[in-house]
């Protein structure tokens, strides 16, 4: 009976269809909690922006207070954080465009369904397309979509009323922006410090896992590959995020500012420590037990040292003495390794960078690809180029915007025809939940539904305790603090705290409304909207990740070929200063993109993976990713080993460089590489690392056809 129930009926079909691939790594679902992202200051600002206005509304019987409070709340949610030069344009753009939408959509609603529905659908397309200009524009677009949906609720009788309502929205947005300018300016460098400190924390986690591998007897190749995938990706993501924060600070404060320069130096030191650890992991995998033991003792000291540096950078208070003692103790452990060995070179490299991070004497290298002032791209070019690039049928952003508009259109029509004060939550949930990728849409729907249920229960408890309008306004203050404080911690927690705030805000604006009805209708429309968003991603213009994965793999192979070219060119004396570090960054970012694509593919429905053939291709992609990680580690190890550079003549390096570059170019096109050069086996220092690189190239060649198929 149970088997028959599983094989028939819509629920069973849906379960089979939505079930992720059996080897999906669920740790990559976007459901997580980062308690370090708690921001009390942001919560206090939101509370001041909302609760003060609601209290004034109740005390002075201010009829427009609800509109002003809503504008202030949404403006606070629109704040992307970081430096003022990034935040203020987003806040002001949202405020001005929101005021225009409030006035224009209210007038369109008065024009009837024939006017309001096309305008609403087109507006949702535009707000969803805003993600083409980056994270800040995406956040502004999502909240403008909320304003648009809410503005279609009530028809406005004339231009004068529309202008007045838009003016109140403008006032609320400016009030919240003013609070941002006053409260947040006291920590202009904090976003940069937090981002750089996170790099050191992520490297410390990598070191802890690396030392743990040395304690396992023996750790096999799959464990080393898992270590590379899990930790190198996290470190590279943290470094690239910090790089954006540091460059923003340089642009805002100038290259002459000592604080911004400190962040730049510490970030570059962290990046080079990361590179040395990659080379060290490659050497440790096959090192003798005695060398592993010595390296393990040094790594045991390195992890807390990195944690101390991270905390010192975050708090902007460096206690030099204990950090210096830890560096000296680690240097004594590293001195036990053989002179000239890869491990000794890696530890010496790390120690030099730790001293730079501590003393800030001078940067080890300039940041690749940037000028001293961090000059930015002209505004017009920043607007036109993403627009031109994404007005293409193959664009994921364009498909997402079209999908959002088409799926939300029936919900808007439902709101316009059978209007109730709560219908708009259906459309808002659809727009807020739907993401370009199916896996992200699923996780966002789960978090939003779970958070809404929990938040509705909290709202009922608060409503039971608070009865007067003033007590409700007072209760909204801690709720606003909590909601905005955890906004970057977890989307589910944010929704759980935001839901009671919305319920109380609705009750304050519409006295006499039942808290049970408000919470119940919000939960109902959230569940319906989440389901519609998931189905929309499945049915309309599905863009399955396995279809995009080959392109990511080709880019990663090319990037690693360029990295090998830069490293071997430097060994033969033909390299350009800074080229190796720039190529290493590109290779690391490309590997991260491949792993993110694989993770999304594994979380998509089984049918999108393509059955046995599709799973075979994903397994081949995992093999290629592991081989590229090992190739990159061997290249770093070659850089750190002074013996290797001297053990092969320039002609030999030139021959191997040409073969590796040609082989990687062939693999990127799906062709097999040619025969590798011969090498004198007596040149053991150079022969061993080059042959290991050749084996990784051969490994990629053995499975590249499965990905193409």
Residues 421 and 294 in one domain: no
- Mean of the per-residue pLDDT values for the chain? 78
Is residue 365, in this structure, part of any structural domain at all? no
Rounded average pLDDT over 248-267:
65
Q: What is the pLDDT of residues 296-310, one digit of tens each?
A: 888 888 888 888 888
Question: In this structure, are residues 324 and 357 in contact, taking their beta carbons and an 8 Å threshold?
Answer: no
The residue from 539, 569, 595 where one domain ends is 539
For residue 20, list its beta bridge partners. Answer: 605
Domain with 568, as residue range(s), is 545-708
Mark 464-485 as b/e (b = at least 16 C-beta within 10 Å): eebeebeebbebbbebbbbbbb
Tell me, what's the pLDDT at 127?
94
Over 90: is that where the pLDDT of 408 sits? yes
Is residue 380, in this structure, part of any structural domain at all? no
Over 90: is that where the pLDDT of 124 sits? yes
Tell me, what's the pLDDT at 698?
83
Which residue's entry shows tokens 């001005």?
96
More confident residue, 222 or 186: 222
Which residue's entry shows tokens 């809410």?
150
Residues 482 and 350 in one domain: no
**How far apart are alpha carbons 518 and 472 in whole angstroms?**
15
Q: What is the pLDDT of residues 259-283, one digit of tens each?
A: 666 777 788 888 888 888 888 887 7
Over 90: is that where the pLDDT of 407 sits? yes
**How far apart are alpha carbons 597 and 436 in whole angstroms?**
13
Residues 237 and 127 in one domain: no
For residue 605, list its beta bridge partners. Answer: 20
Longest dimension (CA), the chain: 91
Residues contacting residue 581 through CB under 8 Å, at least 6 positions apart: 271, 272, 275, 365, 368
Q: What is the pLDDT of residues 83-107, one digit of tens each?
A: 666 778 888 999 999 999 999 999 9
Tell me, what's the pLDDT at 441?
85
Tell me, what's the pLDDT at 89?
86
Tell me, what's the pLDDT at 359?
64
User: What band does 167 get if pLDDT is binned at 50, 70 and 90?
Assistant: very high
Question: In this structure, are residues 422 and 469 in contact, taking their beta carbons and an 8 Å threshold?
Answer: no
Is residue 8, in this structure, part of any structural domain at all? no
Tell me, what's the pLDDT at 34?
53
Which residue's entry shows tokens 């279809």?
547
Is residue 342, in this structure, part of any structural domain at all? yes
Residues 257 and 140 in one domain: no
Question: In this structure, are residues 462 and 500 in contact, taking their beta carbons and an 8 Å threshold?
Answer: yes
**Highest averaged pLDDT of the listed ranges 313-322, 378-387, 459-468:** 378-387
Q: What angle do CA 133, 136, 140 make, to 5 degrees?
A: 95
Percent of the chain with pLDDT over 90: 13
Residues 203 and 352 in one domain: yes
**How far apart are alpha carbons 704 and 26 in whole angstroms?**
26
Over 70: is that where the pLDDT of 23 sits? no
**How far apart are alpha carbons 377 and 357 in whole angstroms?**
30
Distance (Å) of CA 328 to CA 280, 302, 340:
20, 11, 20
Residues 203 and 329 in one domain: yes
For the record, the structure tokens of 611 come out as 């059955």
Domain count, the chain: 3
Nearest to 286 by CA among 224, 208, 348: 224
Residues 424 and 455 in one domain: yes
User: What band does 174 get if pLDDT is binned at 50, 70 and 90?
Assistant: very high
For the record, the structure tokens of 66 come out as 């609800």
Tell me, what's the pLDDT at 14?
41
Nearest to 403 by CA among 224, 535, 231: 535
Nearest to 23 by CA among 699, 616, 708, 624: 616
Is residue 589, in this structure, part of any structural domain at all? yes
Tell me, what's the pLDDT at 24?
44
Nearest to 685 by CA among 632, 651, 640, 655: 640
Tell me, what's the pLDDT at 160?
92
More confident residue, 612 or 297: 297
Tell me, what's the pLDDT at 102?
94
More confident residue, 360 or 222: 222
Over 50: is that where the pLDDT of 223 sits? yes
Would residue 112 be called left, alpha or beta, if left means φ above 0 and alpha means ψ between -120 and 50 degrees?
left
Distance between the two ends of the chain, CA-based, in angstroms?
39
Is residue 595, in this structure, part of any structural domain at all? yes
Residues 212 and 346 in one domain: yes
Question: In this structure, are residues 398 and 391 in contact, taking their beta carbons and an 8 Å threshold?
Answer: yes
Residue 218: cis peptide before it, omega within 30 degrees of 0: yes
Tell me which H or E stretch contains 491: helix 491-509
Residues 146 and 280 in one domain: no
| Distance from the Cα of residue 45 to its chain's centroid | 25
The residue from 539, 566, 581 where one domain ends is 539
Is residue 606, in this structure, part of any structural domain at all? yes
Q: How many residues does the chain have?
A: 709
Over 90: is that where the pLDDT of 169 sits? yes
Residues contacting residue 283 through CB under 8 Å, at least 6 positions apart: 341, 342, 343, 346, 637
For 293, other C-beta atoms within 10 Å of its C-beta total: 12
Question: In this structure, are residues 65 and 499 in contact, taking their beta carbons and an 8 Å threshold?
Answer: no
């Amino acid at each position: 009976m149970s088997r028959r129930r599983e094989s028939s009926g819509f629920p069973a079909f849906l379960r089979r269809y939505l079930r992720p691939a059996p080897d999906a790594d669920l740790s990559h679902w976007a459901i997580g909690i980062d308690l370090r992202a708690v921001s009390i200051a942001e919560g206090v600002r939101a509370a001041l922006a909302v609760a003060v206005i609601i209290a004034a509304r109740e005390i002075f019987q201010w009829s427009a207070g609800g509109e002003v409070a809503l504008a202030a709340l949404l403006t606070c949610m629109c704040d992307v954080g970081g430096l003022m030069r990034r935040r203020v344009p987003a806040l002001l753009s949202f405020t001005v465009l929101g005021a225009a939408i409030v006035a224009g959509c209210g007038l369109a609603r008065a024009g009837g369904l024939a006017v309001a529905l096309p305008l609403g659908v087109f507006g949702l397309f535009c707000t969803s397309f805003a993600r083409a200009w980056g994270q800040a524009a995406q956040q502004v677009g999502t909240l403008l979509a909320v304003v648009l949906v809410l503005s279609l609720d009530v028809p406005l009788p004339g231009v004068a009323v529309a202008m007045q309502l838009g003016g109140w929205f403008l006032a609320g947005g400016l009030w919240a922006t003013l609070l941002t300018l006053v409260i947040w300016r006291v920590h202009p460098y904090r976003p940069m410090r937090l981002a750089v400190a996170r790099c050191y924390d992520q490297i410390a986690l990598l070191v802890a896992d690396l030392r743990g591998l040395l304690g396992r007897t023996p750790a096999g190749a799959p464990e080393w590959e898992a270590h590379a995938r899990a930790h190198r990706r996290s470190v590279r993501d943290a470094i690239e995020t910090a790089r954006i924060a540091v460059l923003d600070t340089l642009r805002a404060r100038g290259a002459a500012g000592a604080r911004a320069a400190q962040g730049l130096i510490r970030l570059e030191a962290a990046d080079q420590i990361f590179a040395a650890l990659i080379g060290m992991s490659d050497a440790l995998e096959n090192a003798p037990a005695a060398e592993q033991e010595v390296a393990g003792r040094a790594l045991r000291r390195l992890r807390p040292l990195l944690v101390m540096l991270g905390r010192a950078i975050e708090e902007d208070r460096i206690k030099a003495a204990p950090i210096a003692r830890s560096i000296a103790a680690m240097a004594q452990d590293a001195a036990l390794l053989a002179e000239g060995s890869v491990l000794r070179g890696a530890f010496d490299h790390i120690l030099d960078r730790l001293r730079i991070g501590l003393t800030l004497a001078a940067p080890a290298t300039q940041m690749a690809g940037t000028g001293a002032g961090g000059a930015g791209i002209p505004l017009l070019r920043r607007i036109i180029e993403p627009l031109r690039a994404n007005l293409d049928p193959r664009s994921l952003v364009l498909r997402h915007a079209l999908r959002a508009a088409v799926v939300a259109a029936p919900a808007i029509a439902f709101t316009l025809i059978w209007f109730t004060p709560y219908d708009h939550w259906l459309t808002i949930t659809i727009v807020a939940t739907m993401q370009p990728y199916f896996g992200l849409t699923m996780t966002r729907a789960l978090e939003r539904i779970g958070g809404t249920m929990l938040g509705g229960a909290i709202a009922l408890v608060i409503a039971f305790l608070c009865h007067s309008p003033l007590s409700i306004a007072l209760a909204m203050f801690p709720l606003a603090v909590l909601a905005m404080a955890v906004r970057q911690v977890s989307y589910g927690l944010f929704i759980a705290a935001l839901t009671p705030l919305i319920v109380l805000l609705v009750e304050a604006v519409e006295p006499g409304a039942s808290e049970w009805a408000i919470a119940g209708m919000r939960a109902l429309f959230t569940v319906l909207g989440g389901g519609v968003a998931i189905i929309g991603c499945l049915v309309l213009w599905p863009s399955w990740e396995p279809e995009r994965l080959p392109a990511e793999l080709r880019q990663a192979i090319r990037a690693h070929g360029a990295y090998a070219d830069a490293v071997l060119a430097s060994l033969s004396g033909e390299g350009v200063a800074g080229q190796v570090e720039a190529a290493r960054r590109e290779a690391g970012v490309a590997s991260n993109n491949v792993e993110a694509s694989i993770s999304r593919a594994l979380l998509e429905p089984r049918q999108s993976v393509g059955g046995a053939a599709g799973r075979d291709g994903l397994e081949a992609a995992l093999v290629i990713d592991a081989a590229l990680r090992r190739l990159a580690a061997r290249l770093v190890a070659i850089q750190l080993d002074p013996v290797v550079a001297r053990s092969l003549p320039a002609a030999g390096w030139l021959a191997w460089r040409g073969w590796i570059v040609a082989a990687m170019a062939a693999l990127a096109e799906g062709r097999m590489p040619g025969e590798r050069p011969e090498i004198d086996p007596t040149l053991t220092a150079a022969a061993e690392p080059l042959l290991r690189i050749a084996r990784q190239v051969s490994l990629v060649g053995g499975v590249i056809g499965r990905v193409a198929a």
